[in-house]
Every structure is written in C-alpha cells, then in structure tokens.
Structure 1
C-alpha cells in the first residue's frame, strides 16, 4: 500500500512531520511500502522508514555485526566471569546480525528522539591529531576542540559565523589529564545512523531525489533500470574504504530489565598522546526502549569503567546527555551517544539506569557489559561489510 509520511503510530516512536508542511495537512505520500525482507539483506539505495524513530532514510551499505543478546538463554548453565564488579554474569554467545549505514532525510532530523551523530574519531593528518565527528546536515570546520569533564565544546565556524556546539561526552576523564585538551580540527556531517535489519520498513518511490541530504547526490545516482533505482557512486565506495576503521560496527550488546531494553554499540575512535601518555578514545551509542505499556522516566545513570591498566572508576549522574527522557507507549525509545577515554588500549564498561515510575517508585535497568577494544588495523580492508 501507499507509504505516508505521517504513518500509523504502531510503526513509529512519533509522527514524522516535515518542517514546511502546510498547517492542517496530516498525510503526505512518500512512496509505496514493500514487504520487509525475512532473509538476505537490503541493497545500497534501498529507501526505508525507521520502524522505531519514524524517519525517512536510504541504505548506504550493510555491516555484519556480532549481537550479544543477554535476553537469550544460553544452551548450557555454564557461566563466564565478566569484568570485576558485575553481577548476574552469564556467558553470552554472539550471533551475526546485519546493520546498515544509512543517510537520514534532514527534514526529519528535528523530530527524532535520537542524536543522529554516527561517527567520531581521532585521525592523523600532517602529523596533527584531529577529532572528527559525523553527527547529523552541514559540514562544519572548527579551529579548536576542547574536551572538558562534561562536554566536548567545539569552537565552530559556519560560513564565517562563530558559534559553539556541545556534544556530551563521558563525565569522567583520566585523572592525569588536565581539565581540557585542545585539538586542532573538527569536521562534522549531519544525518548518519546505524539501523538494525528488523528496524527497516522498505518502500519505493518514483522521486529521483526522495531523500534530502547533502551527501545523497554525492554518494548515489538514479538509474531507473536498477532495483532499487539508486546505485552507489565511486565517491561512496572511496568514502567507505577510507573511513572504515571509524565507521565499522562490530559488536552490539542488548539486555532487557522489567520491559526496558538497553542496546549498546561501542566504537573505537583512536588514540592521541597527551602529557607523555597515550589516551584511547571510544564512542558508544545507547538506545533505551520501553517494551511495555507503563510510562517511565530515566532519572540517573551509574557507570563502572574498568581499564586494562587496573583502574576501576565509578561515575554517577542525573539523566543522560543533560536530559531525563520519558519512555511511553507513544514515544517508547530514546537514543544518544557519548564518549569515554582510557589510558590503556582496552577496558570494559557496565552499569545501570535508575528508572522512575509514575507512582514515584524506582527500579534499576542493567546496561549490558561491553568491551572497549583498540586493536584495529587502520590499514586493513573493511571486513564487516559487503556490497
């Protein structure tokens, strides 16, 4: 059937409304729904609606990740110790699961209960270290970046206009570091995401430019003889091959507590030298989903961060990224990204979210333990994707 921009609430976390929609207009046809694929993968150029966040998007390429689902009962009762301090540990075997690198229609970005940044990494250009961030519709270039104890404050210049952009990072920096680190350059592109196969609601459109995004026509070209009719340009392949160490999604961790499902995806950003030591950086993306009918609100976070160097940190704070999101039947999901650094090449993180019910009572939701690994070969060819 027809695919409308304002689609049934059972599909979406919230209705998707275009910013230029005339007042009083409720529905806007964007294409025709296709049957979701039960087997195989979606191809580059596949249009879709996100089943949780409701935005329009297009598939760039797939990643083959390992999903560690702690809700799945292991075949044996054997357990394996997790990082020091975890409780209720059990062995979890990963299974291959398909995720997609996608472009988000920038008209929908303001209505998504999700930070749409997808890539941040430290890169080496002309012997200088730079933090690169790819969160959500224009290129930004900054002359300086300050990583403080609570925010990554980026001094930005947009066509000559100076402004500040704040990207929340983990509120704990290694104690030997000073309160701020100055880095030389940031490049930001908006409107990228990682989408699980089951979150894709595919549709087709006769529009030759169905997605508004500055990278759409740079990465894809219209070819009516192909299915889907949007095929990759050489620029997309080159971009993927150049940036795969920072783009690549390898591990996904999931656990549900009292109908609140937490999914964590860690990404290695890179290493830089500071004060005669090596500092390793990771980004992690977290999605909270209310799988039940009860309205709840996230109030606090409690993290445990274990470093291979032997340190164990505890971090507590109100909400996440400055917000205390409500998870309801109408808006069941919230997604955000944050950052953490260690003075060791690997470590682990785990923790809990304190959730409040409408009657004022609280319960803790487990954040599944996940590894922080830095043993990537930046020169190796991409291993987790296929065209």
Structure 2
C-alpha cells in the first residue's frame, strides 16, 4: 500500500473547521445552515507543542487537515528528502537497503474523529488497509477507515473538554480512560495485540519526500504481504485534486501489485495552473520490496 500526500507549501494553514482563541482555548466552529451564523463550541485547552515524543492517548488537532485525533502508536522511520540528497544517495540498487541513508523521523498511527474527517471531503482519503488472516481470501483487503498516519510536526496537542473527546467506533476498544494521568488515555491490551498481529502492514519504515516549485510530495510505502494470485489488473489511480489556499493538502492511498521481490517506483503528477500552463510535480523514487526476503538474503550474506 502507498500513502501519498501533496502539500502546497506556499499556502499551508489550518482547515477552516477549527479556530484557536486566546492562546489556551480551542474552538470548534461549524455552519448550521447557509442562513444561520457559525456556531462555536469549546473542545479543549491548547497545550504547548512538544519536541519530545507524544505518548499513546495524546489528543490532538491535525495541523493541515484540522481533524481531531488520538495517538495509538509511534513508528520510527527513515526520511529520504530528495531535495537534500545527492544523486548518488537517491539511487538505491537491489543491493542497497532503504534503511541506510536518511534521517530518523517519528510518525504516529492515530484514530480520527469521524465527524471531522467527513468535513475534509475529498481532500483526505484516510484509512489503513491490511490483508486478512485467512490466506484463502485471495482478493480481499480489509480497511479501517477511521485511522491515519500523522507526522510529529503536524500534531497540535490539547487537553479535551469532554470525557469522550472524539467520535470513533474503535475508541472504547483501543483506549482506556485514565483522567488523573497525562495523557488521559492509555492503550488497551486489545490494541497492543491488534497492532502486534498486523505489524507487518502497519509499520512505517521509510518516508520519501520531494518538492517541485513549492509543491511537496510525500510517499509512505507499506508492505502488506504475499498472495498467490493471477490477478493482472492494472494499477490505476484517478484523482483530480485542487490545491488552493483554502485546501492546500491532498492525501490518498493506492495499492500496487508486483511479481518480483524488489522494484522501484517513481513518476509525476501533472498540475494545471490558472493560466492554462502545466506543471509536472515529481513523485520521489522509492523502493518496493519484500522485507522478509531482504532480511533472509542479508543473513545469508553475513554467514
């Protein structure tokens, strides 16, 4: 699975779902109807952004999409910034590990608020997918639609006003209230088992990023596993996002099938400007590989 995000770096801002008041109050605003004024609702108290790691149970606002969420799990991945790397470090051959170059960054797996993500409309294609445990289900893919991955710098932490701070069907299964602690929620044993059983599909190992004329493309590849199948369907994604000051970010997921243990993917997004001219925004080159095969081959070389 691939998770791709396009960001207009020239116009990044909060989605209009939320406003920040004072510096300590977080206000949710929403339009009741075109003929009635916007209603404001207090949802919590703003916390200072932390340079240290956020713990599971941390409530936050997404800096770019504006939805409310809660941290479930932290993953430590390698960030490959193509604008900072030389041509030599960009090219990964079949003998090079994607764990070599790159800086360490933290990505959080989170639950999202269903009512907030619905407001994002087509800008956010959220959700996490994985293969079923039953290997006989060749063409089945499971999706948890109310989850997302968030970078550390995109988290705005806050203390919620309500006991149930977000609307999500998995909230009570995955998190336990601990009002006397900070953060006020802790993972349940069910969540720990759920993540451990699907770690192969959920873990973030690498992030690939490139900027073209102010538009940033970020890709996070995930290895979902192997299936013996004769499915020859072409991989085709058809979205037509519009990046604007009001909606400067677009995120989507895609699934790629390939019959080899190691491959590379790259490409471009073609954008049309207001004056009718086009701009090709680069998709950074990144490897697609079977980590189990790579691990086995590395052990053989060491032996």
What TM-score does the superposition give when structure 2 sets the normalisation length?
0.79
Give the structure 1 partner of residue 172 of structure 2: 217
1:102 equivalent to 2:114? Answer no
- Normalized per residue, the structure richer in strand is 1
**Corresponding residue number in structure 2 for 1:15:** 17
Does structure 1 conserve the Cα–Cα contact (< 8 Å) formed by 2:70 and 2:112? Answer: yes
1:114 counterpart residue number: 124
Between Structure 1 and Structure 2, the one with more helix by share is: 2
Q: CA deviation at 1:59?
A: 0.4
Deviation of the 1:68 alpha carbon: 0.4
Partner of 1:240: 195
1:213-362 to structure 2, matched below 5 A, reads: 213-275=168-230, 321-362=237-278
Q: What is the number of equivalent residue pairs in this alignment? A: 264
Tell me: CA distance 1:32–1:70, structure 2 relative to 1, closer, same or farther (3 Å): same
3-state DSSP of counterpart to 2:224: strand
Gaps of 5+ in 2: 1-10, 19-27, 94-99, 294-303
**Residue matched to 1:194:** 149
CA contact (8 A) 2:43 2:160 kept: yes
TM-score norm. by structure 1 comes to 0.63
Alignment of 1:61-140 (within 5 A): 61-73=73-85, 79-80=88-89, 82=91, 93-112=101-120, 113-118=123-128, 120-125=129-134, 127-130=135-138
Asked which structure has the greater RCO (Cα within 8 Å, sep 6+), the reply is: 2
Query: 2:130 aligns to what SS in structure 1?
Result: strand
Contact map agreement 1:129 1:272 (CA 8 A) in 2: no
Shift of 1:10: 6.7
CA offset at residue 19 of structure 1? 8.0
Q: CA deviation at 1:20?
A: 9.3
Q: 1:208 aligns with which of 158, 163, 176?
A: 163
